[in-house]
Amino acid sequence: MMEIILEHYNYWLGVIIMMAGFYTVISRGNLVKKIVGLNIFQVSVFLFYISIGNVKGGAVPIIEKGITLYSNPLPHVLILTAIVVGVATTALGLALVVRIKEAYGTIEEDDIHNQDQSL
């Protein structure tokens, strides 16, 4: 039992953080909070991915004389691209929130829905 926990705890905690971000997106009405929840979801996916590439006793993947065991460098490459694309998406989402506020006067999802339905 203890071995199962020690071998898999990083995956489990990653899933817990992912579900926390998912719950924020689907149950809270404020648009800025939804974007924060989306970012939490993204960071949990990055943590999950990098923990797959980790090697116990390995070093940072920068080649140096005398070190033979390195961590896997390929997930790092993927996640670098993903982080940068994530910040581009966040910036666009926040720009859209600013325009929604100027058009509707509020950024609560229920008020926007009511205003749309009363037109």
Partner 1 sequence: MIDNIVDITLLSLIAIHAIAIIRMRSLFAVVMLFSGFSFLSALLFIVMDAADVAFTEAAVGAGISTVLMLATLALTYTSEEADKEEKEPTHNPWLPLSVVVITGGLLIYGTYNLPSFGDSNAPSQLHVAPYYLERSLPETGVPNVVTAVLASYRGFDTLGEVTVIFTAGIAVLLIIGGRRRVKPQVENRDSNRET
Partner 2 sequence: MKHNLILRVVSKFLIPLIFLFALYVQFHGDFGPGGGFQAGVIFSATIILYALVFGVDNAKKVIPAYVLRLLASLGVLIYAGTGVVTMLLGGNFLEYGVLASSQVAGQHLGILVIELGVGITVMSVMLIIFFAFAERGRPALNVESESESELE
Site string for partner 2, 65-84 (x = CB under 8 A): ---------------x---x
Q: Which of 91, 96, 114, 115 binds partner 2 (CB under 8 A)?
A: 91
Per-residue HEC secondary structure of 14-52 comes to HHHHHHHHHHHHHHCCEHHHHHHHHHHHHHHHHHHHHHH
Backbone angles phi, psi at 13, to 5 degrees: -65, -35
**Does 52 help bind partner 2 (rule: CB under 8 A)?**
no
Report, in Å, the least distance between residue 31 CB and partner 2.
15
How far CA 46 is from CA of 11, 33, 51, in Å, comes to: 11, 20, 8
Residue 117 Cβ vs partner 1, minimum distance, rounded to whole Å: 15
Report in angstroms how near the CB of residue 116 gets to partner 1 at its nearest.
14
Does 96 help bind partner 2 (rule: CB under 8 A)?
no
